[in-house]
Structure 1
Amino acid sequence: MIKEVIVVEGRDDTVAIKRAVDADTIETGGSAINAMTIRKIALAQKRRGVIILTDPDHAGERIRKIIASKVPGCKQAFIPEAEATHKGDIGVENASPEAIRHALARVHTTVEGAVPLLDWEDLINAGLITHPRAASRRMAVGNILGIGYCNGKQLHKRLTMFQISREEFAEALQQIESEGL
């Protein structure tokens, strides 16, 4: 059993989680997170810890940001969009048990007040910003590092808050380069 409570968006996500692992969940009911749900998440964080696992889309990212801002110290797990998409529908409920287990095995903890280990110049030099294929390169790097897809500014923020080292970053870049990205 996973010690932490996993925060998901809805009932179908809970069903998918339960197919993959033995864990308790809290459902946000979508992006309109109410105060009662935030209180439940805060209590779970205090007692057992929380892992946020939302859909890899705009609404999921919005929910993730709301929770992280109101309940500090939550861990975060990301499923790549390609592994959570079925017939054009994006969501945790579409991910295979293996994809869910893989995401939960690569949980990241936000380090509040973290000092950046990589700077903006590193992202430019890596072709993750202002490069013709920057978006696809960011998606590949985000998937390799287990921090999800995001724009350049958000990527820098996630690299910092999850304290991704220069070595991890370099390995991810080397991998995408070997794949021809």
Structure 2
Amino acid sequence: HQQVPFEQIVDRLQPERSLSHSPLFQVMLSLQNNEQGSLSLPGLDLSMLESGGQTAKFDLTLNIAEEAGGFGLYWEFNTAVFKGETIARMAEHFAVLLSALLQSPERDVFSHELVTCREREQLLESSQDIERLTPSQHCLHELFEAQAARHPEKTALVYESSRLSYDELNRRANQLARYLTAQGVKPDTLVG
């Protein structure tokens, strides 16, 4: 299949075309492990320059290059799709996974954790906040409102390209509740 030009593959598969993304894939892993040949011409001194490209060709590319004493990992990403913090977290997760694989190569790759120690502590800390309000003590809407009060600006809901903060979702839920009450809906009334 490597002999078939890219354009012929695209023509044959007929994927939905969009200027917002590549027609076949959005994520690429590139291993640069070819020997760097030297180029010499009589009377000229030549050296390699870094490309320093500023445009991501795909949503996410991980370039792995052989370097003296190891490998260098370079993340390239579409800033309309990913935030820098997300890629930094992804890079940390990848490093955690690689470290675990080196320590236990016999284990299945999917059995390893990806979270860092710092993230695990943060998750445990936030779960302790939730444990203080156990479901046996509070209804789901009370737990949600408590979360909205603690973190009103955080994202609560993502649907396609829309995002709602806890505060906005809580306000919209309350608006819907007031509307349903005005329509005669009472507790234990089924609403489609």
Q: Same fold (TM over 0.5)?
A: no
TM-score (normalizing by structure 1): 0.24
TM-score (normalizing by structure 2): 0.23
In proportion to residue count, which structure has more strand?
2
In proportion to residue count, which structure has more helix?
1
Greater RCO structure (CA 8 Å; 6+ sep): 1
